[in-house]
Chains A and B, each alone.
Chain A
Amino acid sequence: MAKGVWIVAEQRDGALRKISYELASTARKLADVLGEDVCAVLCGSGIEGIAGQLGKYGVDKVFVADAPALEPYTTDAHAAAVAKIVKENDPSILLLGASTQGRDLSARLVGKLHTGMGTDCVDAKIVDGKLLLTRPMYAGKCFGEVAISSFPQMATLRPNVFPAVENQKAGEVVKFDPALDEGKLRTKVLEVQKDASGKVDLTEANIIVSGGRGMKGTENYAIIEELAAVLGATVGASRAAVDAGWRPQSDQVGQTGKIVSPNLYVACGISGAIQHLAGMGSSKVIVAINKDAEAPIFARADYGIVDDLFKVVPELTKACKELLA
């Protein structure tokens, strides 16, 4: 019978990503209810040394595939490796991160493992011995409670939603042979073009300062950038601002952009069209600055200022600078 709560840990450039600890902690919580063990799978090249770190967040055992073909990530190689070890061990639950890599890998695994999966979940619990997931649908306009009748019961977890909790367990490292068939590695990463700005991606940011139609032009984003710099935030934008060409596509938050869940989301000059609210509705604290008191964003905001953003934002930057000094 399927047994054990498993995660696929994520690393990049030889360092575990934060989502890995969030996955481990969530798996621990579920496994304690079931009275089962937590196992992790970690794939890459030259990564055996970091595997044990997962023990600190409640992982009992880490299965490591360490091979040159597993770095950088390609779907074919990682899906083959993970599917092999999962099939050999038959876990009841398999969790991945709803990161770019986790979404890609998990979907391919649904095919290889012939099972069901809930994507981008914001809650996971055990009810009557089975996994019950909560996930946003229609970009958060409604939520679905999802159950999976096949094994492993798969889910990807939205980054930054599940807490990472230290809970030292053995973290025993076990190497396994991914038995990769070179002929089946059909995609090749020719080049990794790193973003030189070094800014934290919107999906991983703790704080986001976003500007919308009310910004009126590219040049005005300087005040948004300044506030973001003081707060250590990443700059985002609404669809209106992106479609107007003021900000790059990669900055867009919303139903057809990025789905984000920072601790703090500051919406400046954003009216709060439903498709925008859908993309940032799971933010922990929402601030709206808009001169239109009727703007729908205020219905979602925890804090609001009804005033001209061009007057308020620079003052907010100044006030935050003083507070944080």
Chain B
Amino acid sequence: MITHGPKGEGRSVVLHYLPNHNNEKEMLERIGIKAIGDLFSDVPEHLRSKELGLPPAVSEVELLRETDELMGRSRSGNDMLMFLGGGFYDHFIPTVVDNVTSRSELYTSYTPYQPEMSQGILQALFEYQSLMSDLLGIDVVNTSMYDQQTAIGEAILMANRINHRNTFLIPEHISRDKECVIANYILGSGIELVKVPFQNGVMDLGALEGLLGPEVSGLYVENPNILGMFDPGALKVRSILDPKMVLVVGINPMTLGIAAPPGSYGADIVVGDVQPLGVPMSYGGPSAGIFGTTMQHVRKMPGRLIGATKDDMGRRAFCMTLSTREQHIRRDRATSNICTNEALTSIRAAAYLASLGKEGFRSLGIQLASRGKHLSERIDSLEGFTAPAFPGHFFNEFPVRSDVDACALLDECESRGVLAGININNDIPSLENIFTVATTEMHTSKDYDKLLRVLKASREAIL
């Protein structure tokens, strides 16, 4: 470690990331200039910065101490019982997934512009595309969008590129987070959003038919939806839409161990978030947005694609392909502005799927849906609670109706050390006293016992 001059309160500046700190003189001589300041002689004097007002530099041990102190002022699934979902879930991450994605030859590389020396990351991303394509039942999946929210925005723009129609249908029941992001993505496009009403917790197909017309570009359906409910209508909508309309299906990839792939019921574009597949929650990111489509529309899709080819000795090799859709070639006519994406998170998801494999992923899917069913039945048996709040099927997350104010109830639960769910009223004002509860394989039977006790006590405290 190189340090230099104690400054102020006896503190040294740490320069262990800067190997040439002490070679300055020699290098300047070889360049043929006197002082390092001469390299900046073209920066006008009045634009020179004063010393930045930042906290003093800290050593590694101090930084760890401060981190521990700050993390100590935060709580997580480690020390708090939670049943939060809404797109991010506290699933178990097999150690092997953390291990293989910590290989620094992979994570310290950039976009593989030089395929000959980047075969590792290229193959890993090609495998992600393939695994996800099989899981979704759709031909081609790009290496990632930023998250599901932005992937939906990109899907709506792509639908417009496909059919040049300007009305796009989205569900009435959608998270505010998604709706706000989508609104910005389409702002420059002239596309108008129209909401499809819900009935009994799922899309109202009769109402949908009434909204269709020649100006409709496509429809976004979530399966499962914001309430956690599988939407049986998703299986039928393709036959309701005219053939030119683009069907975009949003999924939770974890459900696809047991649920039919959206490609099988006619999706033209599939979007989702890889977070459930071995990605730490990290307070909301980084994750990666899933984006898949059919070969028919591949040239209209956004994002990076890896293709298989050969090297000049005829050996299998991989490289980025169809870059002519992308911003660094096509500039203002690109299919999207995305450049840096979430590649390493996609590789996490691939390593996760490879580890669980066919049997593991399917049996985990059955377990999660069974746990959801089990927990909903137990909550439903409590006085004052109905679970699920709407009839139908769900995976590991479901809506609960309470006979007391849901916001007050969830606050009471928190004061008893349990985050019991998400108040859906924040996203959908028309749904009152409904909250969603999510469970994962991290929970034990005792955790469920505690949730039940706390829900009961919290309700009684309000009454």
Q: Do A and B come from one complex?
A: no
Residues of A bordering B, CB below 8 Å: none
